[in-house]
Structure 1
Amino acid sequence: MSTASSVVSAVASNRRTYSLFSSSSQTTTIKLDRVNFMVWESIVLPLIEGNRLEDHIDGTSRAPLKVISSEKGEKENPAWSEWFSVDRLLVGWLRNTMSQEIGAQLLHHKTAEDLWNGAKPLTCASTKARVMVIKSDLHNTRKNSLKMDEYLNKMKNLSDELTLAGSPIAMDDLILHTLNGLDADYNAIAVRLLDQPAITWVEVQAALLSFESQLTQKSHFANLSIQPSVNLAQRTTDNSDSVNHRGGRNNYRNSRGRGGRYRGGRRGGGGRPFCINCQRSGHTLATCYYRDESAAFNHSPPQAYYANSNSYSDWYMDSGANYHIIPHSGQFEEMIPTGKSHITTCTGEQRPILGIGTVTIPCKQSKFHLKDVLYVPSATKNLMSVNRLVQDNSVSVNFSNQRCDVKDPVTRRIIM
């Protein structure tokens, strides 16, 4: 299909100059197809009217007689020649704005008026049917298992398709359809957004994406049953060298008094202590690892390895815990409620988790950022998971007979 500029160069006898056909004229970015006639027309028609060529498509400019009589006999009518040149230029330009499919079906239309009148019914019939389908899709689309960004993109694309088909919907209607397609988990945010008298699509997207992020964190801890291995077991005497640890976990001395020297009853004649609580050998009920897992919730604090003057900021290091745990919501920089989540201690007790968030601990020369900290109001101590501390802050934790040091792994400088 010839471009407008190539057609112009082939017609040197044209008396008028039309910017529509000049090589510097902007080409349309939208090609006419079966569903976008209204948008295509809104772009093409102003360009035609700006060049005062609308009479070639609305039927007000008819072709003059091709041959006229003169004193020397019949000759070609100059008026027809000019009209024909302009009309053919317009036909070529219009075809250049059509998709290959539409252009192929309009090959037999020779004048600009015929081409214009043939394009409208050909595309509008399909457009009306397509509009009905899109509106139905917009009404029936549900988020279901889609990610929020995928769902929002799908709804916006349907709205854009309606616009291209010449049947745009109001932004309020798009927002309403979008909120109606959300799951029940989004009822709270949907009601809040609907109550706002003036809200944009961008604001709706931001609110829904943020809410999805909160739900994702909640669901991660929903029905959570954590065996936290809380190493806050029993009170012991500070600096006691008699403290031992079992099971290959926290094999450092005097970390926080877990266990103790094994004493008490023995089972049978095997010569090894036996615990009637967990039914395991090697220790007694008094020093049972599992009996005292819940001690983080009901004993007075043992010695802390990181403590400010305010006990509210005391933290108890635990190399076996999977999560940080704190009992005070005021310690969070930011926190998200977790609904019905809970942790289960090794004794079977369930402790509700009311939130999860981030906590920053200021030190002399730096700050520690604790992520995914659980808010457990029934706890009586701030429990710090050594594993999580190391992962999130790129530090090393060293336990010795008398102390616990947090160091920079590169410089070996003690940080806390």
Structure 2
Amino acid sequence: MASTPANTTEVIQLTVPSHFPIKLTPSNFSVWRRQVQSTLIGFNLLGFIDGSVKEPAAFNDSAHTIANSAHLVWYRQDQIIINALLVSCCDTIQPLIISTAKIANDAWQRLLVSYASATRGRIISLKAKLRKNPRGARSVTAYLNDMRSIADELALAQCPVSDEDIVVYVLTQLGDEYKSIMSVVRIRETPISLGELADILTDHERQLKEADDAHQSLMTSANITQRGSFGSRNQQPASIRRFRNNNNNGTANNRPNSPQGRTNRMGVVCKFCNFAGNETRVCRKLARFLKEHNVFPMQAASSYPSPTANSTIGSTSSWLFDTGASHHATPSVNPLQTFSEYTGPNEVRLGNDNSLQISHIGQSTIPTFASVLTLRNVLCVPKLQNNLVSISQLFKTNKVSVELFDSHFLVKELQTGTTQLRRTNINGVYYGPLSYEPTINTVRLSHAF
């Protein structure tokens, strides 16, 4: 479409604050150029900067005695456009136009030459970011907003990205917890829209959070229920009271019934069952509670089998805390509270360069004194012999520190320094407790949206 003024005798005034409110800076040329082009198209003046409106002859005769009024109108309009371009540029860019540009087309072409390469570099940078922008710890909503923002910037730079490409970039960088969704989207006959994908991902994120919250609530309620049921001696079952009475009678027959002995015993109160005269370290009620919830107290070295090449003690009783492991791993899905089939290409490489296949990936926990330690992205490797905890991954997921000693190790809360877990070093191996849940939730996703 030819860009010529609608009325050759009319000069259109341009007000920069109203028509060009965005000032040109070295980093926003694409947006500023779009603003200028849109405004000039609206006034039918785009030809002055793209060169389609040519400069009329200055005179109507060969003797140059009769001035051409059309040239005067063109010249006045052209200078108004140059002034608008000048005022809409920042101070560092204005000299570029003033020094050499005589007409609006010259000023425009010089700006294009100066900033086209910078814009191209910006496009390459945005495309690279779009391809390598993993979700990490961000929420699905925040991640999708970031990806949309990058796509919008590319569109403003006149390099739009299709919705189907954005969907691919998003799905390939969400993480292992969302691989099942990618598998379903891949077999769809029709492309999925960004809005529909956002709804599906948000709902899946909610389900993952509910599963994690349910697990945390289960551990907490188990402690509260057990402690509340036996908070006083009067509330204890009769069988327990009879056992303790018989035990006290037997003790009285075997040692002197001294007032000093009774005084020392009455000064001791179990911190678990609040029973006077009962020590916490020998409380049978506490021992039974820990056993029911698969929390094993620290035992002597003789109670653990010696780890050998064929030993599988880690796979059935404990987690092995390993400073050299890059990922958590387990030979069975039993310790996993949530899991899904692993469809990726990766394998577990051992120290002897042997590789083991991964069957599932999921989440587990380790009980502590006050709460639990969360193990995310636990790899299920059926041919593995032990349950392994990657200390480096433990740091990333939980705000804790680990201190290793000759006979034991401690897991402490990072901010307060409170000890959350204390376990034994057995023959050079650091063992941690294994936690099983009463149900295993397998992640499934319907193929129909």
Contact 1:343/1:351 (8 A) holds in 2: no
SS in 2 for 1:263: helix
Greater helix share, structure number: 2
- Give the structure-2-normalised TM-score: 0.49
Contact 1:38/1:164 (8 A) holds in 2: yes
Quick check: 1:137 aligned with 2:118?
A: no
Aligned to 2:222: 228
Q: Which among 143, 167, 171 is matched to residue 163 of structure 2? A: 171
SS in 2 for 1:152: helix
| Cα offset, 1:232, TM superposition | 6.4
Q: Number of matched residues? A: 280
Contact 1:232/1:258 (8 A) holds in 2: no
Aligned to 1:300: none
Aligned to 1:293: 289
| Cα offset, 1:117, TM superposition | 1.7
Contact 2:16/2:87 (8 A) holds in 1: no
| Cα offset, 1:111, TM superposition | 0.9
Q: Which among 29, 37, 58 is matched to residue 65 of structure 1? A: 58
SS in 2 for 1:185: helix
CA separation of 1:161 and 1:167: change in aligned 2, threshold 3 A: same
Q: Which among 265, 270, 274 is matched to residue 247 of structure 2? A: 265
Counterparts in 2 of 1:152-171, with a 5 A limit? Answer: 152-171=144-163
Larger Rg: 1
Contact 1:30/1:97 (8 A) holds in 2: yes
SS in 2 for 1:95: helix
CA separation of 1:264 and 1:281: change in aligned 2, threshold 3 A: farther
Quick check: 1:207 aligned with 2:189?
A: no
Gaps of 5+ in 1: 1-13, 234-244, 298-336, 357-416
| Cα offset, 1:186, TM superposition | 2.2
CA distance in 2, matches of 1:178, 1:192: 14
Contact 1:232/1:296 (8 A) holds in 2: no
CA distance in 1, matches of 2:197, 2:112: 37
SS in 1 for 2:222: coil
Quick check: 1:107 aligned with 2:98?
A: yes
| Cα offset, 1:168, TM superposition | 1.0
Contact 1:67/1:76 (8 A) holds in 2: yes
Aligned to 1:303: none
Q: Which among 329, 346, 352 is matched to residue 437 of structure 2? A: 352
CA distance in 1, matches of 2:276, 2:223: 19
Quick check: 1:84 aligned with 2:75?
A: yes
Aligned to 1:95: 86
Contact 2:58/2:71 (8 A) holds in 1: yes
**Which residue identity is paired with 2:193?**
T
CA distance in 1, matches of 2:181, 2:102: 58
| Cα offset, 1:290, TM superposition | 3.0
CA distance in 2, matches of 1:16, 1:257: 106
| Cα offset, 1:208, TM superposition | 2.9
**Which residue identity is paired with 2:113?**
P
| Cα offset, 1:230, TM superposition | 6.7
CA deviation map 1:296-321 (0-9, x unaligned) = 99xxxxxxxxxxxxxxxxxxxxxxxx
**Which residue identity is paired with 1:228?**
A
- Give the structure-1-normalised TM-score: 0.52
**Which residue identity is paired with 1:86?**
Q
| Cα offset, 1:170, TM superposition | 0.6
| Cα offset, 1:147, TM superposition | 4.3
Aligned to 1:391: none
**Which residue identity is paired with 2:200?**
A
Contact 1:32/1:40 (8 A) holds in 2: yes
